[in-house]
Amino acid sequence: MKIGSDNVAFVTGGAGGIGLAIAEVLAARGAKVMLADLDQTKLDEAAKMLSAKGADVGTVVCDVADEAQMRAAAAATIEKFGKVHIVVNNAGVALGGMPGEISMKDWRWIVDINLIGVAHGVEIFTPLIQSHGEGGYFINTASMAGHGAAPGMAPYNATKFAVVGYSEALKQELAPSNIGVSILCPAWVKTNIHRSAFDKPTGGSDESDPRFKEMAAVIDAGIDPADVAEWTAQCVEADRLYIFTHPEFSGAIDYRHAMIKADYDACSDFPAFQKKDV
C-alpha cells in the first residue's frame, strides 16, 4: 500500500512511544491522523507537535478494551476526516509473573487490552474501510514475544502470540477487500511499556524491585521508536506480513522452528499416523 495524502490513519496508543512515532511517519507521508489514547493531556501535546510539522491531526480519548469507546472513536474519526484507510492497533501493556501467582483480574486486564483491543479495532474498522472501496491496511502491534516465549512473561507471550495468529488469518481473510495486514514484532524499543504494569488491577509494581530495574535498563538501551516507525511504513508499502526490527534475534526464530520441525517429524514414527498406500 502506498501511503499518501489520500489516506486517513487511526492510531491507538498514539500519544507516545511507537504509536506516536508511527503517526508522525504516516503524517510525514501526507496521511491525516487520528490519535487515540487514554490521556487527553498527552494527546494534546502529541497533536501540537504533529501540527507544528504540518500534519492534519485529530485526537480522541479511548480505552481500546472498551467496545463502546472504540466505536465512539471510530465515529469521531469519520466525523472529522470522512473515511479511514489505515488502522494501527498499537496500544498495549506488559505483565509478567509465575504460574499460580498471577491474579485472574490481571490476566483479564492484559488480554482485554493486548488482544481484545486489537479485535475491537479490526471488527469496528473493517466495515468502515470496506465501505469506501479504496482499500486499506491494518498494522497490529505484537512483539518478538509473539514468536518466542520467556520465563516469567507468560501473560505477555500469550497475548502477543494471539495477535500474531489472529493477524495471519486476517491477512488471508481481508485480501479480497484489498485490505492489507502487517504484524509489528519489535524486541527492545525505548518506550514506557515496562511502566504499564503499574496500572494493572491488583497494583503492586515497585520501581525499587530489582526485576523492574533490570527490565528498565534493557528497554532504555533499546532502539529508537522513530526507526521502528520508519521501517514499519516501508514494510507496509512493501506489503510485508511480519515487521521485524532486531536482526540479532534471528537465531531465536531458527531455534523455535527447529523445535517445531523436530517434534512434527517425530509424529511420523507413530504407527497409527503413518500414511498407508492404498
Q: What is the pLDDT of residue 109?
A: 98
Distance CA 150, CA 249 (A): 13
Q: What is the pLDDT of residue 122?
A: 99
pTM of the model: 0.95
Q: What is the pLDDT of residue 277?
A: 67
Q: What is the pLDDT of residue 215?
A: 82
Domains of the chain, earliest start first: 8-250 (3.40.50.720)
Averaged pLDDT, groups of 10, the chain, 278 residues long: 97 98 98 98 98 98 98 98 98 95 97 98 98 98 96 96 98 98 97 88 76 83 96 98 97 96 95 79
- Determine which one of 137, 156, 255, 264 is catalytic: 156
The three cell numbers locating residue 173: 481473510
C-beta separation of 107 from 155 below 8 A: yes
156 is catalytic: yes
